[in-house]
C-alpha cells in the first residue's frame, strides 16, 4: 500500500537507502535533510528534496500540511562519544527536534510515525539475545536521547491516537547492492566503515577497542544487519501502519553476533590484504555483546532478511568506499 511520506534524514546513510526502496515500492517521498552529515547526491532522484532543519517549524508545517500520510524519522546526531562531550547538543537535535516534529504531526493530522532507535537503549545487558521487553538502561546521552524520544512517542500515541513503530537498529552496515549509495558520514565511528577506510589508504591502522571482553576472542560482539535488509524492514513497517497495524517496538538485526576480529578477518578475506590493527583501551559506553532477538519483527511484519551474510556486508561496504574515493 503506497502513500506520501516524509523521510527526515533521507540524505544520510540509512534514510537514503530506505527512501530508494520506498520510491521503488510506489510511494511519493519528500526528504528533509539539513546536510549536516548527509550528502545531497545520496538522496534518490525520484524524491522531492528539501534542504532544511528539523527545528524549522514553519517548514515542517508546510511539508506536513501537503497531505503526508506517514513520517519516517531518521534525522539525528549519531556519534556516541560526541554525545558524551556535548549532551545538550544531542538532547536538542535528537529529543527536542523529535518533540517539535511530533507536535507538528499532531497539529497537521499526520498519525503514522516510524522512528529510528538503537540497540544502545539496552545499555550493558546481563544477557543476550535481547528482547524488546528487556530493561532499557542507556549509558550514553545518545542512547538516552533516543529512549526519551521513544517515550514521547508512546505517550503522544496514547493521548492523540497516533500509531507508531520504533525500530531499534543493531549494527547497520554494508551498502546498496547496485553501488548507488553507501555510508558517507563524516567522522563515522562504525567498525566496518573505519576498516574500509584503512583498506582504501585513508587511515594507517584500525584500533580494536578492548580485547579483554568476556567473548570468544575477547573483542566486542555485535549483530550486523545489511542496510538493504533494514531499509526493507521500513517499507514493511510502513505497509503495516498503512494497513491499520498497531504501534510496536521492534528490534532490527539478524539474531546472531560477530566479534570485531571476525569482521576484520572477513574484510581481509574479501580484500585479500592484511589490515594493520592495534589494541586500544575499551571505549567508555562500549559493552561486550549486543545481539537481537528478532522474533517480534518476524512475527509482526513477516520480515525475513535476504542478505544475512557477513562477507556480503563487508564486500559491499568496501566496494562503495572504493567508488566513493575514486569519485572524490
Ligand atoms: N548507523 C547505525 O548503525 C545506527 C544504529 C542505530 C540507530 N541509528 C539511527 O538511525 C538514524 C540514521 O542514522 P544514519 O547512520 O543513517 O546517520 P546519518 O548521519 O548518515 O543520517 C542522519 C541524517 O540526518 C540529517 N540531520 C541531522 N540532524 C538534522 C536536522 N536537525 N535537520 C535535518 N536533518 C538532519 C543528517 O544530515 C544526515 O543526513 C539516526 O537516527 C541514528 O541514530 C543508526
- pLDDT tens-place string over residues 7-28: 999 999 999 999 999 999 999 9
pLDDT reported for residue 200:
95
Tell me if 9 CB under 6 Å of ligand 1: yes
Ligand 1 atom closest to Cα of residue 55: 31
| Pocket probe mutation, ligand 1, options 9, 18, 142, 234, max atoms within 8 Å of Cβ | 9
Q: Quickly name the fold that domain 4-172+226-252 has.
A: Rossmann fold (3.40.50)
Phi, psi of 50 (to 5 degrees): -115, 120
Predicted local confidence at residue 185, as pLDDT: 80
Report the SS3 class of residue 82.
Answer: helix
Query: Is domain 191-222+255-292+302-327 given the CATH code 2.40.160.100 in the classification?
Result: no
Strand order in the sheet with 258-259: 258-259, 221-222, 289-290
The response to whether residue 94 sits with its C-beta less than 6 Å from ligand 1 reads no
Q: What's the gap in Å between 15 CA and the centre of ligand 1?
A: 7
Residue having the nearest C-alpha atom to atom 6 of ligand 1: 118
**What pLDDT does 57 receive?**
97
Q: Which atom of ligand 1 is nearest to the CA of 10?
A: 39
- Residue range 251-310, pLDDT digits in tens: 999 999 999 999 999 999 999 999 999 999 998 878 999 999 999 999 999 999 999 999
Do residues 90 and 145 touch, judged by C-beta distance below 8 A? yes
Q: Which atom of ligand 1 is nearest to the CA of 39?
A: 39
To test the pocket of ligand 1, the residue of 76, 172, 191, 285 to mutate (highest count of ligand atoms within 8 Å of its CB) is 76
Smallest CA separation from ligand 1 atom 10, residue: 116
* Catalytic machinery residues: 142
Where residue 29 falls among pLDDT bands split at 50, 70, 90?
Answer: very high
Is 1's pLDDT higher than 80? no
What pLDDT is stored for residue 31 in this prediction?
98
Q: 115 CB under 6 A from ligand 1? A: no
What's the CA gap between 287 and 274, in Å, rounded? 26
For residue 38 and ligand 1, the question of a CB distance below 6 A is answered with yes
State how far the alpha carbon of 213 is from the alpha carbons of 1, 24, 259, 287, in Å: 46, 43, 10, 8
User: pTM to 2 decimals?
Assistant: 0.97
Q: Kindly give the distance from the C-alpha atom of residue 1 to the centroid of ligand 1, in angstroms, as a whole number.
A: 26
Q: What would the pLDDT profile of 49-84 be if each residue is shown by its tens digit?
A: 999 999 999 999 999 999 999 999 999 999 998 999
Do the domains spanning 4-172+226-252 and 191-222+255-292+302-327 agree at the CATH topology level? no
172 lines ligand 1 (CB under 6 A): yes
Q: Give the domain ranges of the chain.
A: 4-172+226-252, 191-222+255-292+302-327
Distance separating alpha carbons of residues 239 and 233, to the nearest angstrom: 10
10 Å Cβ neighbour count for 241? 22
Amino acid at each position: 500500500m503506497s502513500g506520501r511520506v516524509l523521510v527526515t534524514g533521507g540524505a544520510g546513510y540509512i534514510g537514503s537507502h530506505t527512501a530508494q526502496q520506498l520510491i521503488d515500492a510506489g510511494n511519493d517521498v519528500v526528504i528533509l535533510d539539513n546536510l549536516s552529515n548527509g550528502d545531497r547526491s545520496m538522496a534518490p532522484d525520484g524524491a522531492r528534496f528539501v534542504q532544511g532543519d528539523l527545528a524549522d517549524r514553519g517548514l515542517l508545517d508546510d511539508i506536513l500540511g501537503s497531505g503526508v500520510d506517514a513520517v519516517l524519522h531518521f534525522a539525528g546526531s549519531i556519534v556516541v562519544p560526541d554525545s558524551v562531550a556535548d549532551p545538550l547538543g544531542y538532547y536538542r537535535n535528537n529529543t527536542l527536534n523529535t518533540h517539535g516534529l511530533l507536535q507538528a504531526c499532531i497539529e497537521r493530522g499526520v498519525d503514522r510515525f516510524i522512528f529510528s532507535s538503537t540497540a544502545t537503549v539496552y545499555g550493558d545487558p546481563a544477557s543476550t539475545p535481547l528482547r524488546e521487553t528487556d530493561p532499557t538502561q542507556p549509558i550514553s546521552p545518545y542512547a538516552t536521547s533516543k529512549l526519551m524520544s521513544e517515550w514521547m512517542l508512546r505517550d503522544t500515541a496514547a493521548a492523540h491516537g497516533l500509531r507508531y513503530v520504533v525500530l531499534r537498529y543493531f549494527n547497520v552496515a554494508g551498502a546498496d547492492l547496485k553501488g548507488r549509495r553507501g555510508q558517507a558520514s563524516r567522522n563515522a565511528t562504525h567498525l566496518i566503515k573505519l576498516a574500509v577506510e584503512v583498506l582504501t589508504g585513508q587511515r594507517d591502522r584500525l584500533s580494536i577497542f578492548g580485547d579483554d571482553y568476556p567473548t570468544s576472542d575477547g573483542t566486542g560482539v555485535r549483530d550486523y544487519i545489511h542496510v538493504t535488509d533494514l531499509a526493507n524492514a521500513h517499507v514493511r513497517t510502513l505497509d503495516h501502519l498503512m494497513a491499520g497495524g498497531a504501534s510496536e517496538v521492534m528490534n532490527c538485526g539478524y539474531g546472531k553476533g560477530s566479534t570485531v576480529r571476525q569482521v576484520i578477518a572477513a574484510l581481509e578475506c574479501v580484500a585479500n590484504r592484511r589490515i594493520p590493527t592495534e589494541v586500544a583501551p575499551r571505549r567508555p559506553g562500549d559493552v561486550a555483546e549486543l545481539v537481537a532477538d528478532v522474533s517480534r519483527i518476524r512475527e509482526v511484519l513477516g520480515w525475513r532478511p535476504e542478505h544475512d551474510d557477513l562477507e556480503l556486508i563487508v564486500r559491499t561496504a568496501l566496494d562503495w568506499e572504493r567508488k566513493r574515493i575514486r569519485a572524490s
